[in-house]
Amino acid sequence: MTEATVRRNWREILLNRKMVICILQGIASGLPLYVLIQLVPAWLRTSGVDLGTIGLFALVGIPYTYKFLWSPFLDRFQPGFFGRRRGWMLVSQVLVMAAIGSAGFFDPEMSLEVIVWLTAAVAFFSATQDIVLDAYRRELLAEDELGTGNSLFVNAYRLSSLIPGSLALILSDLIPWSQVFMVTAAFMGIGIATTLWIKETDGTAKAPASIKEAVIEPFKEFFGRNGVKPALAVLAFMFLYKIGDSMATALSTPFYLDLGFSATEIGTIAKAAGLWASAAGTLLGGLLMLKMTINRALWCFGFVQIVSILGFAVLAEVGNNPMLLFAVVSFEYLGVGLGSVALIAYMARQTSLAFSATQYALFASLTALPRTFANATTGFLIEAYGYTHFFLLCTAIAVPGMLLLFWVAPWNGEDRKAAD
């Protein structure tokens, strides 16, 4: 297959049950995370827990970063029901529901240690669910469906934040916290019902024969597919493609404050602009990819990413201007959303169906590294060069990732998708 392959009509891609599955699974995937980062902190604070302790609760999210460590087990083994993907989906979703529903029955002042273990369980089983959902989505979607399907998944993921971050908080003023958590947990029923409704993918027939094979073969297959140098180029591209905008946005709130914007202006202008623009970017990216190949989307969306960073340099020079703030943040996060959709689709395409859980988990961890790198270095760079030159540097740092497209995803080159 080549990049010039004729693609299906957009109605065939958009109007089918696969897209519905992506939406429902996106809700199930996002809900537990937003319970941890929105609902639990609010509950602890209203129960009198100090901010330092609440901040430490962020550590329970570690499983999301290191989920690749147990992904080979999910590739290798399957429960005795529903198949390899659906079986692990059901197990993880039921355990997530149980952990969330149980948490509210404990008093944070009296049983904080128990709550720590329950929230850690939510994170672990939620990360496990994500491993399986990512693998299932890779096996479910055809190449020309990857962009749209992942776009709908990501937007549903974000939409799920309204349950623990809005509905649950409103309910907390009306009913006890134990009932709030039970109601929130009940929404995991969306994921469970979806798992019962869908069919197992063909990937089950390609399960590794042993744990050794599940751990070693994903690497062996990836590096042996096209050779070591092309594989390293792909990994370098995944790391570099979004590093520019990761660095540019890492310390955005201090940047706005240093320009003289008030906390209210940042909350109402910058944060609102970022929210709508990132959602619009992922949705628009998915729709555009109904007509575009993954390779061409990476080129076009990557160019938008680079240009949008320059808006911060302009804002740094102009200074306190609310209208410009809204425009710059909107453009930047539109680029973030577009680039994310294309990169997720590319990552999925690079996985082998035989090892989709392990390879996708590893790719996801690799693409998350630039955020850590950005948070660790940007403050020093800003102090050394100032904001304007820092954002110009971020733009320059984004260029190598784009240049790698000549090798890993040429505009009219052959499609380098993973072997089935």
Task: Say if CB 185 and CB 171 are below 8 A apart.
Answer: no
374 confidence band (pLDDT: 50, 70, 90)? low
Q: How confident is the model at residue 1 (pLDDT cuts 50, 70, 90)?
A: very low
Assessment of whether the complete model's pTM goes beyond 0.85: no
Of 40 and 143, more confident: 40
Residue 372 pLDDT grade (very low, low, confident, very high; cuts 50, 70, 90): low
Token pair recorded at residue 303:
């160019």
Residue 197 has pLDDT above 90, yes or no: yes
Q: What is the average pLDDT across 153-177?
A: 88
pLDDT reported for residue 202 = 66
Domain locations in the chain as residue ranges: 10-207, 220-408
Stretch 367-386: mean pLDDT, rounded?
78
C-beta of residue 281 within 8 angstroms of C-beta of residue 158: no
Q: Is the pLDDT of residue 52 over 90?
A: no
Question: Which structure tokens are listed for 325?
Answer: 């703030």
Residue 355: the pLDDT is 82
Q: Other CB atoms closer than 10 Å to residue 312's CB: what's the count?
A: 25
pLDDT value, residue 343 = 92
Would you state the structure tokens that stand for residue 4, as one six-digit string?
A: 């010039």
Is pLDDT above 90 for 410?
yes
220-408 placed in CATH 3.40.109.10: no
Q: Which residues of 84-97 are buried (b: 16+ CB within 10 A; e: fewer)?
A: bbbbbbbbbbebbb
Q: What is the pLDDT of residue 131?
A: 93
Q: What is the pLDDT, as a whole number, of residue 321?
A: 94
Interval 293-325: pLDDT, tens: 889 999 999 999 999 999 999 999 999 999 999
Q: What is the mean pLDDT of residues 392-401?
A: 94
Mean pLDDT over each residue of the chain, to the nearest integer: 86
**pLDDT reported for residue 417:** 44
Residues 302/304/305/307 CA torsion (nearest 10 deg): 120
pLDDT band at 7 (very low <50, low <70, confident <90, very high): low
| Sequential DSSP letters for 243-281 | HHHHHHHHTHHHHHHHTT--HHHIIIIIHHHHHHHHHHH
Domain 10-207 has CATH 1.20.1250.20: yes
Q: What is the DSSP string of 150-185?
A: HHHHHHHHHHTTHIIIIIHHHHHTTS-HHHHHHHHH
Instruction: Tell me the percentage of the chain whose pLDDT exceeds 70.
Output: 93
Torsion of CA 285, 10, 30, 141, to 10 degrees: -110
Q: Who's near 40: CB < 8 A, 6+ residues apart?
A: 57, 103, 119
Residue in 376, 374, 382 with CA at minimum distance from that of residue 254: 382
Give me the pLDDT at residue 327, please. Answer: 94
Question: Treating both helix axes as pointing N-terminal to C-terminal, what angle do 112-140 and 84-103 enclose, rounded to 10 degrees?
Answer: 150
Q: How many angstroms separate the CA atoms of 137 and 146, rounded? A: 8
Question: With b meaning 16 or more CB within 10 Å and e meaning fewer, what string describes 139-174?
Answer: bbbebbbbbbbbbbbbbbbbebbebbeeebeebbee
Q: Which pLDDT belongs to residue 371?
A: 67
Q: According to the model, what pLDDT value does residue 65 have? A: 80
Q: Is the pLDDT of residue 377 over 60?
A: yes
Report in angstroms the alpha-carbon separations of 217 from 137, 209, 211, 363. Answer: 21, 10, 10, 15
Q: What is the mean pLDDT of residues 402-418?
A: 78
Quote the pLDDT of residue 117.
93
Query: For the residues of 26-56, what is the DSSP string, one character each?
Result: HHHHHHHHHIIIIIHHHHHHHTT--HHHHHH
Tell me the chain's radius of gyration from C-alpha atoms.
22
What are 335-353's pLDDT values in tens digits? Answer: 988 998 899 889 988 988 7
Q: In this predicted structure, which of 89-93, 202-206, 222-226 has the lowest mean pLDDT?
A: 202-206
